[in-house]
Structures are given as structure tokens and as C-alpha cells.
Amino acid sequence: MNYQLSLYKDEATPQAKIQLPEGNGVRAIYVIHGSLRVRAGNFSGVLGGNSAFHTSDELHISAGHLVTWALRWEFSRAGGADATAAGEGVTSRKLLTADMQLDTAREYLLRCDRVDFPPDGEALTHTHRGGGIRCLLMGGIDIHTQITVHRYAPLEPWYEAGPDPVYAKAAPAAATGFARVMILPRELLGKSSITYVNAEDLNKPKNQKYQVFIDTPITLPA
């Protein structure tokens, strides 16, 4: 079945109400800086910087006392409506949409995490068991695939399908970090999704660090 994962960047002035279109899937929000007041289903609370939340329920959000920047992933059936936010004091734009082919006979989870590298750090050639959209938060990173090398700057997104081998090299002058949402097989709940391509890399020191915010089973959008 065809699905899509889209990433939006929402900016809001203090106290601004962020108006979201009705959703028909799963939403995940990561706060870059500032804060968001969040209400969805039985949850009501505040998200500070470097925190995340997800829901399949109707979502109500507004900015706190500071200018707030947030990343918002929308996971839905392919061809879903645009989910750009609106509101006075709100600027919202879509950064990227990726198509995903998923087997409806299988079960899946949504994982939102952050990956950080020291200056000149690297992620050795690897694959993942599911696709996802990343967005650079700080620093710089070169993503090497079999045929291309692409350099990303802060707030630039990219999609990794999962099975394609990737080597990542962080910028030498400063720490680098990115946030991502991946759709993974449910049997990976609480487990790493990464597989190293070269056997000699398995026991080498790894300098990337992970911070997991969301790791939860989901129902595929109808």
C-alpha cells in the first residue's frame, strides 16, 4: 500500500495559536526551541525545546512565551491533503514529502529520535530497516550513498529509504545533530534499526549518540 511521510517547519510568535488542518494519520512534533502548549486526546501539557510528541487524535497547539520553531511530521495514506499550518503570527512550510510502500499485513512503529555527532564524527556505512525523514538541527553533514554525496546545512531535510547503504560524515568545525522520524517494523520496538554493511565495522568505536523521544506502535492510516 502507498503511504507518505511529510515534514513541515512551523514558526510561531509568542502565544500564537497554530491552526492545523484535520489530520487523517499520525503526527509527530519536535520542538527545536521555544515551547508548545499541546492538547490531544487525554493529553494536555507543554513541550520544551528538544522534546517531542505524537498523536493520531485531533491536535491543538500554541506557542509559549518565546518565539517557537518546531518540526512536524505527517504520516498518512499517499495523496493526503496538504497540512501546512496557519494562524496569526504563524509561518509554516513543507520541507519534504517522501512516498513509502508498506505491507498492510505487517505491523509498524513510529520512532522519533535525535542523532548527534562530535566535530568530524561519522556514521560508518549502514542501512536501516525502514524509511524516514531527517532534518539537520545544527552543524553540517555529508550523506554518502552509492552514487551521490550531498551536503546538508541546518534546517535542510533528506529522506533515507532504509535498505540503501549510507555513510555520514559530520562537519569538522562544530558539533552536528539531526532529528528524524522513521516508520519501522514493530519487532524493532526498543531495538536499534541499524545494520552495518561491512563486517569489519561492527566492532569499531561508534561516535554518534542517540536520544529517543518516541518509540511506539502505530496503526497504518486508513
DSSP 186: G
Same domain, 145 and 129: yes
Q: What are phi and psi of 92, to 5 degrees?
A: -140, 140
Distance CA 117, CA 141 (A): 9
**By C-alpha distance, which of 53, 51, 68 is closest to 13?**
68
Indicate whether 112 and 162 sit together in one domain.
yes
pTM assigned to the model: 0.96
Same structural domain for residues 181 and 113? Answer: yes
- Using CA atoms, how far apart are residues 74 and 191, in angstroms rounded to an integer? 23
The percent of residues above 70 in pLDDT, for the chain, comes to 100
Q: Single out the residue in 84, 101, 118 at which a domain terminates.
A: 101
Confidence of residue 170 (pLDDT cuts 50, 70, 90): very high
SS3 category, 163:
coil
Same domain? 80 vs 153: no
153 and 133: one domain?
Answer: yes
Residue in the block written with cell 542523532? 115
Question: What tens digit of pLDDT does each residue of 43-94 get?
Answer: 999 999 999 999 999 999 999 999 999 999 999 999 988 999 999 999 999 9
Same domain, 206 and 114: yes
CA–CA distance, 36 with 48 (Å, rounded to integer)? 7
- The neighbouring-strand residues paired with 111 are 182, 215
Q: Are residues 112 and 199 in the same domain?
A: yes
Question: Measuring CA to CA, which residue among 220, 5, 215 is closest to residue 113?
Answer: 215
| Boundary of a domain, candidates 101, 136, 161 | 101
Q: Are 208 and 100 in contact (CB under 8 A)?
A: no
Pull the grid cell for residue 79: 495523496
* Residue 2 in grid coordinates: 502507498
**Whether residue 165 is found in the same domain as residue 201:** yes
Kindly tell me if the per-residue pLDDT of 201 is higher than 90: yes
End-to-end alpha carbon distance in the chain: 10
**pLDDT tens column, 80-99:** 889 999 999 999 999 999 99
Nearest in space to 215 (alpha carbons), one of 8, 52, 32, 44: 52
How many structural domains are present in the chain? 2
The sign of the dihedral angle between the CA atoms of 186, 97, 94, 125 is positive
Among the listed residues 186, 183, 197, 167, the one whose alpha carbon sits nearest the alpha carbon of residue 54: 183
CA distance 62 to 60: 7
User: What residue numbers bound the domain in which 190 lies?
Assistant: 108-218
- Identify the bridge partners of residue 62 per DSSP, sorted by sequence position: 17, 37
Residues 65 and 139 in one domain: no
Same domain, 36 and 97: yes
Domain edge (last residue) among 75, 101, 127: 101
Q: Do both 57 and 118 map to the same domain?
A: no
Pair (92, 113) in one structural domain: no
Query: Helices marked H in the chain — which ranges?
Result: none
Share of the chain above pLDDT 90, in %: 95
**Residue 112 pLDDT level (bands cut at 50, 70, 90):** very high
Res. 194 pLDDT band, cuts 50 70 90: very high
Q: What is the CATH number of the domain that holds 158?
A: 2.60.120.10
Element (H or E) spanning 211, and its range?
strand 209-218
